[in-house]
Amino acid sequence: MATPKELSDFLIAIERRAFKQTAYAVRDDHAALDIVQDAMMKLAEKYGERPATEFPMLFQRILQNTMRDFWRRQKVRNLWTTLLSSFGSNDADGEDRDPLETIDVEDDADEPSAQLARSQTIQLIERALEKLPARQREAFVLRYWEEMDVAETAKIMGCSDGSVKTHCSRAVHALALELKKQGLDKLGLSNAVFDKK
């Protein structure tokens, strides 16, 4: 059985990543926070008696399911909104705002030019990641960002190992293509990574 300290350490380690992953998927910081909070609570409530080594996989599964629930609810809400708005006035006050506008630029103490280049690269990647189909993004995030192996990723996504590999490969191709379109080749990416370290 995991202790509260183990749970706390685990959550500290993953909470920021979990938030960003969710934010890329749902494109709304507040919704992302709610989803992460829900996932944390479910982990403590339902799986608190499990050993801490099982937490990463359990948490990711809960997080993905909570996101799916959110999308389902969102779909129903959108349907009602569409139906109701057809009867009401159509004064769209910023409904279609670009979520990327809300992304803040980090304030590193590096050289301004390097900082700007890195910040732009990250923004491009974030934008490209948001554009990915949900399954590809999920596979990419779990496999490369969460550093899970193919089998674990497949288990969480509920698909075969082959599908995970296909999704990952397509995601990387799509991201690379998007970066290339924006004038960032793999060298530019490598430099950005190198600069960060």
- Residue 19 interacts with other proteins (CB under 8 A): yes or no: yes
Question: Residue from 55, 62, 118, 132 that binds other proteins (CB under 8 A)?
Answer: 118
Give residues 26-55 in contact with other proteins (rule: CB under 8 A).
29, 33, 36-37, 40-41, 43-45, 48
Contacts of 140 (CB under 8 A, 6+ apart): 129, 132, 167, 168, 171, 172, 175
Q: Is 141 helix (H, G, I), strand (E, B) or coil?
A: helix
Residues in contact with other proteins, shown as a per-residue x/- string from 81 to 110 under the rule CB under 8 A: -----------------------x-x----
Contacts of 124 (CB under 8 A, 6+ apart): 178, 179, 182, 184
CA distance 34 to 65: 13
CA distance 18 to 11: 9
- Residue 131 interacts with other proteins (CB under 8 A): yes or no: no
- Residue 66 interacts with other proteins (CB under 8 A): yes or no: no
- Residue 196 interacts with other proteins (CB under 8 A): yes or no: yes
- Residue 132 interacts with other proteins (CB under 8 A): yes or no: no
| C-beta atoms surrounding 68 within 10 Å | 13
Distance of CA 30 to the CA centre of its chain: 14
Q: Which residues bind other proteins (CB under 8 A)?
A: 1-2, 4, 7-8, 11-12, 15-17, 19-20, 29, 33, 36-37, 40-41, 43-45, 48, 104, 106, 118, 121-122, 125-126, 129, 140, 143-145, 147, 168-169, 172-173, 175-177, 180-181, 185-186, 189-190, 192-193, 196
